[in-house]
Structure 1
Amino acid sequence: MQVKEEKPDAGTAAERPRNQTEVFAVHGADPEVLAYAMAKYSRSALSMKESLREISSQRAEQFLNTFYFQYGHRSIADLAHLAFAIERLSLLAAIVLVDEQRWDGQERSTRYQNFRTSGWYLPDFASDTASETEFKAGIDSLFAAYHEVAEGVAESLKRTVAKPEEMKPEAYERTLKARAFDVARYLLPLATNTSLGQIVNARTLETQVSRLLSSPFAEIRELGEKLRVAASGAAWNVRAEEMAGVQHEIRKLDVELGDRTSALLMREVKVAPTLVKYAAPNEYEIRTRAELRQAVAELMSGEAIDAAPVVDLVEADPSLEVELATTLLYGACHYPYRQIQKRVAALDEVRRNEIIALGVRHRGRHDELLREFSAGQALKFDILMDIGGFRDMHRHRKCTQIMQSFTSLHGFDVPEGLAEAGLEARYSEAMTAAHAAYEKLAAGPVPEAAERAQYLLPLGTRNRSLFKMDFAEALYISELRSAPQGHFSYRRVAWEMYKAVEVRHPALARYFRVTDVNEPVDLLKR
């Protein structure tokens, strides 16, 4: 399809007034139509208003089919921003869903909401009724412990934290309840239902859908398909009932006018029917992940996992090649970065390059490189923390994050406040039982046994992730996440990040405006 070039009249150009910049917001255009109109700035002299008046959904689809799919102009999709509500998905699926570096959204808070009534995701156990029964029993046990701990910690806080005279009773109750939920959330299984809203551009949506469709988890693959269908089908219109009422009133006065307004007011809007229609499972990622798992298993050959601190600021890699190979293997196993790095650095150049080549062997023409190839950052933090705390740290998208899969291998964290409430033994009992049930189910012979078992892991389970960043991001995270109003889990991680930089770069540590997490915190000022 050719885009007609509109050229200004050379004879009148000099007579045009200058310095008349116009700025206006645009409302009411379908996302793909708006993306086409914005793309036309590079191909036409028409103004935005002129472009939007002449563009139809059909013309936008024709344009996108040509320039987006045939010519690979994927930047056009950056111009179409789409809002989605994703409700009643598991916490596990939510973590995977939001694992995008270009993502904006909000999820239900475990601090301000009671998740006991949220419901939970039940994987398909097919005819394996024994495993399904054990899974359900494990979930019920964790929710019972969650309720007991939330209630117990709240009562303990009421006994030990006095209400200031100037504080309203409802504010006092709400603050203490939030603290109790901060503790109890460690017991929430990854199967727990949550809800979130996201606003992403169409390019991010396309890669997100493709990534979800490539998941080893059935729920996540289904979620990817539902996102694709939601983008291709009719969007929910918040004004639909109101518009229908107006249209009905108009039609009572004038049938012909009512029919005309119906076509305008009641038409279906499809937010991205063209831009996501070819989203499919990513064979590059699926095949590469499998080969990397095999490669790291061969390299480490059953070696025990080294003990590691909560935060390990890894020394600089001997070379970029060592960093790339180490990072590629890191996401395919449960070993610390430092332990893999040592083995990779000892390899000869040929073997090391073979590992890097695994990361690109199956890459197609339009495939972006795996995130593991984002290398060269000065600061690499290998972090071992509870899954709940990671969900908060996961929001920092200016850094590169590589997650390892969920496992019970690293044990679990014990939150603050349990001992004071006399609930530490109850908590440890529930966590230990959940990990034992996970390990039993994960060892099952049926397909996806390991994936289904992960839904039983509670948020208090420790998991490993790699955060690569520059100095400014390390300072930002340390300052923000060490603040007193934050959750005690990530406050400790932020503090340890700062302390690690202080040891390695003492002259730079003075620029961090962190809060010492060892200082007492007034819970009522959180």
Structure 2
Amino acid sequence: MSTPNELFTAEEQDILSPYVTNTNRSVFVLTNLPEVIKGALFSRYSRSKLGLRTLLLKEFIHKKESQFDQIQGRNYHQNSSKNIELAIESAKNFYDRILDGYGDDSIGELGGAHLALENISILATKTIEDSRIGGSPLEKSTRYVSFSDKINGEYPFYKEPTLLKSAHRKLFLDTCVNLFDTYVFCTEPIRDHVRKCLPRDSNISQNAYERSVRARGFDIIRGLLPAATVTNIGVFGNGRFFETLISKLKVDSLQELREIGQLSFEELNKVIPSFLRRADTKHRHYQDFKSFNFSQKEFVSHIAFSQLGKLKPEQSDLVNLVDYDSEAENKVIAALLYPYSSVSLQQIRENVRNISDSEKFKLIKNAAGLREHRRHKPDRGLELAYYTFDILGDYGMYRDLQRHRILSQARQPLSTRFGYDTPYEIEDSGLGNQYHDAMASAANAFELIFKDFPLEAQYVVPMSYNIRWNININLRALIWLTEIRSTPQGHAGYRRIAQEMFRKVKEVHPALAEYMKFVDLSEYSLGRLNAEQRQENK
């Protein structure tokens, strides 16, 4: 395997060397190639007898139509980014022809790009992060970064155009400013309160302690930030991911998201145009997607109104286990045994059903006992057990938990109708009146705006207000979620949700809950302290 089938001359090796990690082994990595070339190269690769390096030489580097030198920017000091962009546009037909002729939709997953989205609302980021497969988002943290700094004399929140043109303009602006004023007012008193309640231990460095106090302070007051708060998010994704994301954004009901979709298309089209063709407004696939999306929303919303319109929300717990598989333990054991047998899955399941409950518990407990820490991931057989949870928690909790991808989730629109969370430190520090006044003001604004603009009214909802969402997740993914989200350095809000999920599973499947052995049920005050001290020690 270490020796390739193809041999290259000294001249060819010299040409190839900037673009591959070696020319004399069967395993190598591509380097210094733009995404449009890599994607087309792999597309051609899947239908050719030639090796990748030979294809790169014959059909790209030596073919004038590919505009290889101009796109690759080999003489970059002579090629501005604008010239490279023009070269990509000039060669677009060449790359489109390769992708159409030698690939399918999956080829769009072989090239990607890094997209930066700045000064967009935290409401918009959640729609972007809804797209799970093929993309990796990273958003500015409310824990480590202050959102109190003004930009050109104004607090950083999205000025929603529809509301600015409406009779609610002043109400919208005043509500957001009041929430930010309260956020700023609470910042230092909360930190002083944290220091008073949790004085620094002599074994902890001052820097680590202050970073932990700062993080804890931001965690406590982040609930005051309205959904209009602007943030930054970076997204790495493959072409197929971006094509789907952009199409969804461009048909969204909110103007901000439609604008983000169009701007993203324009910028990504400069780098990976051949992967985004179907997201072009004029493309027949986009037109079809737009029509289907509209019809589907109209149909389902009509049914929801006619069937559910008169129902009133019932009282609900933080976490409700709505559905689970009563056969889960048998299915998991059978799935664990399956790779080590030659009989059918049906036979194995029948055999497992005849094992006594005590033996099943012992088998599962012993298998789970092999895990020595949370990074020891259990067997894929655990993916056959599924759970459906309905959760009512504040928007901040949702924002943290939404980032998990190996699950199916759906949320309802933001509102102020399910109450809000009040961290006990707010009351203990004497800031309760200011906090509750800001929340009440936001709720009043929401109701007034909702009458005319129900979707845009979401922008004034602070993060402490509760939102309802559901999660359908397999046991293997749930183990990862509950263990990582219950660690001491986690936010107190989502730690409670992770802990409660574990308890719900333990109630119905005590044996399978043995696998969730690293869920931390303890409570912590300065949860970040040990992590900050470890960082300081480095």
Partner of 1:333: none
Task: Give CA-to-partner distance per residue, 1:272-311, whole Å, 9 cap, x none.
Answer: 1122133146322232122211101111231111221111
The answer on whether the counterparts of 1:387 and 1:459 sit within 8 Å (CA) in structure 2 is: yes
CA distance in structure 1 between the aligned counterparts of 2:157 and 2:395, rounded to whole angstroms:
17
| Aligned mate of 2:491, from 477, 487, 491 | 487
Instruction: Look up the SS of the partner of 1:450 in the other structure.
Output: coil
Could you say if the C-alpha distance between residues 515 and 136 of structure 1 is closer, same or farther in structure 2, counting changes exceeding 3 Å?
same
Matched residue count: 413
Amino acid at match of 2:177: D
Distance in 1 between residues matched to 2:116 and 2:512, nearest whole Å: 42
- Aligned pair partner of 2:502 in 491, 498, 501: 498
Task: Report SS of the residue matched to 1:125.
Answer: helix
Q: Partners of 1:66 and 1:283 in 2: how far apart?
A: 27
**Deviations, residues 147-176 of structure 1 (Å, cap 9, x unaligned):** 122222101011121112233323222210
Q: CA deviation at 1:126?
A: 7.0
Distance 1:132 1:63 in 2: 50
C-alpha separation between the residues in 2 aligned to 1:8 and 1:115?
57
The whole-number CA distance in structure 2 between the counterparts of 1:93 and 1:127 is: 18
Measured at CA, do residues 63 and 400 of structure 1 come closer, stay the same or move farther in structure 2, by a change above 3 Å? farther
The yes-or-no answer on 1:38 pairing with 2:70 is: no
Could you state the TM-score of these two structures normalised by the residue count of structure 1?
0.74
2:243/2:276 contact within 8 Å kept: yes
Alignment of 1:309-328 (within 5 A): 309-316=317-324
Provide the rounded CA distance (Å) in 2 between the counterparts of 1:497 and 1:60: 53
Deviation at 1:90, TM superposition (A): 0.7
SS at match of 1:29: coil
Task: Read off the aligned partner of 1:425 and give its amino acid letter.
Answer: N
Cα contact 1:34–1:52 (8 A) shared by 2: no
Q: Does 1:117 find its partner at 2:117?
A: no
- In structure 1, what is the Cα distance between the partners aligned to 2:203 and 2:325? 56
2:113 maps to 1:76: no
Paired residue secondary structure (1:402): strand
Measure, in 1, the Cα distance between the counterparts of 2:34 and 2:161.
Answer: 38
The one-letter code of the counterpart of 1:177 is R
Which aligned pairs between 1:380-391 and structure 2 lie closer than 5 A? 380-391=388-399
Match of 2:530 in 1: 525
Q: Residues 228-377 of structure 1 correspond to what in structure 2 (within 5 A)? A: 228-233=265-270, 271-279=271-279, 280=281, 282-316=290-324
- Secondary structure, counterpart of 1:287 in structure 2: helix
Residue 517 of structure 2 aligns with an amino acid whose one-letter code is R
Gaps of 5+ in 2: 8-23, 61-65, 68-87, 151-155, 327-382, 532-538
- Return the alpha-carbon distance in structure 2 between the equivalents of residues 127 and 418 of structure 1: 32
Q: Superposed, which structure 2 residues align to 1:185-204 within 5 Å?
A: 185-204=222-241
Are residue 155 (structure 1) and residue 163 (structure 2) matched?
A: no
- Name the residue aligned to 2:127: 96
Q: What does residue 22 of structure 1 align with? A: 26
Is 1:462 aligned with 2:493?
A: no
User: Partners of 1:111 and 1:82 in 2: how far apart?
Assistant: 27
- From 396, 399, 407, the counterpart of 2:407: 399
- Cα distance, 1:380–1:129 mapped onto 2, change above 3 Å: closer
Q: Which residue identity does 1:181 align to in structure 2?
A: F
- Give the Cα separation in 1 of the matches to 2:387 and 2:137: 27
Q: Aligned letter for 2:307? A: L
Is structure 2 residue 210 aligned with structure 1 residue 173?
A: yes
Q: Which residue of 1 aligns with 2:513?
A: 509
Amino acid aligned to 1:94: T
* TM-score under structure 2 length normalisation: 0.72
SS of structure 1 residue aligned to 2:173: helix
User: 2-side partners of 1:422 and 1:31: how far apart?
Assistant: 55
3-state SS of the aligned residue for 1:388?
Answer: helix
Structure 2 CA distance for partners of 1:411 and 1:175, relative to 1, 3 Å: same
Conservation of the 8 A alpha-carbon contact between 1:125 and 1:131: no
Aligned to 2:354: none
Structure 1 counterpart of 2:456, one-letter code: R
The answer on whether the counterparts of 1:387 and 1:463 sit within 8 Å (CA) in structure 2 is yes
Alignment-derived partner of residue 246 in structure 2: 209
In structure 2, distance between residues paired with 1:137 and 1:437: 9
- Kindly state the Cα deviation for residue 105 of structure 1 after the two structures are TM-superposed: 2.4
CA distance in 1, matches of 2:526, 2:164: 53
Query: What is the alpha-carbon distance in structure 1 between the residues aligned to residue 27 and residue 319 of structure 2?
Result: 47
CA contact 2:408–2:472 (8 Å) conserved in 1 = yes
Q: Secondary structure at the match of 1:428?
A: helix
Contact 2:246 2:262 survives alignment (8 Å): yes
Residue 384 of structure 2 contacts residue 474 of structure 2 at CA under 8 Å; is this kept in 1? no
Q: Distance in 2 between matches of 1:35 and 1:164?
A: 55
Is 1:134–2:166 an aligned residue pair?
no
Q: CA deviation at 1:525?
A: 2.4
1:414-453 to 2 correspondences below 5 Å: 414-444=422-452, 449-453=453-457
How many angstroms does 1:124 deviate by?
1.0
**Does the residue aligned with 1:314 lie in a helix, a strand or coil?**
strand
Q: What SS does structure 2 have at the residue aligned with 1:278?
A: helix
How far apart, in 1, do the equivalents of 2:267 and 2:428 lie?
A: 48
Instruction: Report how far residue 515 of structure 1 moved.
Output: 4.0
Instruction: State the shift of 1:66 in Å.
Output: 4.3
**Alignment-mate amino acid for residue 121 of structure 2:** S
114-123 vs 21-30, which moves further: 21-30
Q: What is the rounded CA distance, in whole Å, between the counterparts of 1:105 and 1:464 in structure 2? A: 23
**Structure 1 residues 184 and 522, CA, compared in 2 at 3 Å: closer, same or farther?**
closer
- Asked whether the 8 Å contact 1:36–1:63 carries over to 2, the reply is no
User: Matched residues in 2 for 1:377 and 1:284: separation?
Assistant: 33
Deviation at 1:194, TM superposition (A): 0.3
Letter in 1 for 2:114: A
Query: Who is 2:117 aligned against?
Result: 86
Code of the aligned partner of 1:23: V
Could you tell me which amino acid in structure 2 is paired with residue 113 of structure 1?
Answer: V
CA contact (8 A) 1:32 1:60 kept: no
Query: What displacement does 1:431 show?
Result: 1.1
CA distance in 2, matches of 1:433, 1:182: 22
**What corresponds to 2:347 in structure 1?**
none
CA contact (8 A) 2:95 2:274 kept: yes
Q: Does 1:475 align with 2:475?
A: no
Report Cα offsets for 1:201-260 as digits up to 9, x if no partner: 000000000010111000000000000000113xxxxxxxxxxxxxxxxxxxxxxxxxxx
Q: How far apart in 1 are the matches of 2:164 and 2:464?
A: 31
Partners in 1 of 2:210 and 2:526 — Cα distance? 15
Q: For the structure 1 residues 507 and 127, does the alpha-carbon distance in structure 2 shift closer, same or farther, using more than 3 Å as the test?
A: closer
Counterparts of 1:22 and 1:117, CA distance in 2: 54
Retained in 2: the 8 A contact 1:311–1:384? yes
Distance 1:189-1:419 versus aligned 2 partners, 3 A rule: same
